[in-house]
Amino acid sequence: MASENTPDTLLGAITYFADLDVATVFVASLRWPDGVRCPHCDSVDTPYVKSRRIWQCKNCRKQFSVKVGSIFEDSPIPLSKWLPAMWLLVNCKNGVSSYEIARDLGVTQKTAWFMLHRLRLAIQAKSFDKMKGDIELDETFIGGKARNMHQGKRKRLGITQGRSMAGKVAVFGLLERHHEKGS
């Protein structure tokens, strides 16, 4: 792989997404490719509170995490489990069972089944959002170069971090669909 940080093994994905800042930025850049929008009121005036990994909407004054309004909501499962599970799902060409996910990620089989169910729905709906479709999922494993648009987006997210993730973001082959967003 061209990018040193791009996880191309399960172990790599687990290590990569163990950093909650990395996982948060990753999901945020996929959910909001054109900049963070408040899931409550659609405002873009949403400064990031890095210490708590939440956004504070200045319009409706509600706070939200990257999970709010997504398939990851309503569960205590951390992104450090969700993202490697997604990695398994899109990279195992012969399919992946809840038993495998349970074993590999150290969750119960019931939890693994729940995760698989939601992730498959997201693939069907082509979106991490509960309702509308922003993201197309493709089975292609995408490296960094085509994705360096995220560099500017990350700045708009107000997120800085120690190691550079520029161009290394879309490791699951998640393709953004750039559709019109009414403002």
Nearer to Zn ion, 45 or 176 (CB): 45
Q: What's the token pair of residue 86? A: 């997604």
Q: Least Å distance between CB 9 and Zn ion?
A: 39
Nearer to Zn ion, 59 or 164 (CB): 59
In this structure, what DSSP letter does residue 35 have? S
C-alpha 183/C-alpha 167 separation (Å) is 28
Nearer to Zn ion, 45 or 100 (CB): 45
C-alpha 167/C-alpha 56 separation (Å) is 27
Q: Least Å distance between CB 62 and Zn ion?
A: 5
Nearer to Zn ion, 41 or 121 (CB): 41
Nearer to Zn ion, 40 or 126 (CB): 40
Q: Least Å distance between CB 89 and Zn ion?
A: 32
Q: Least Å distance between CB 54 and Zn ion?
A: 12
Judge whether 169 and 147 are in contact, CB under 8 Å. Answer: yes
C-alpha 101/C-alpha 44 separation (Å) is 36
Q: Least Å distance between CB 140 and Zn ion?
A: 35
Q: What is the DSSP string of 113-166?
A: HHHHHHHHHHHHHT-SBSSS--EEE-SS---SGGGTTHHHHHHHHT---SS--T
Judge whether 101 and 116 are in contact, CB under 8 Å. Answer: yes
Which residues contact Zn ion (rule: CB under 5 A)? 38, 40-41, 43, 57, 59-60
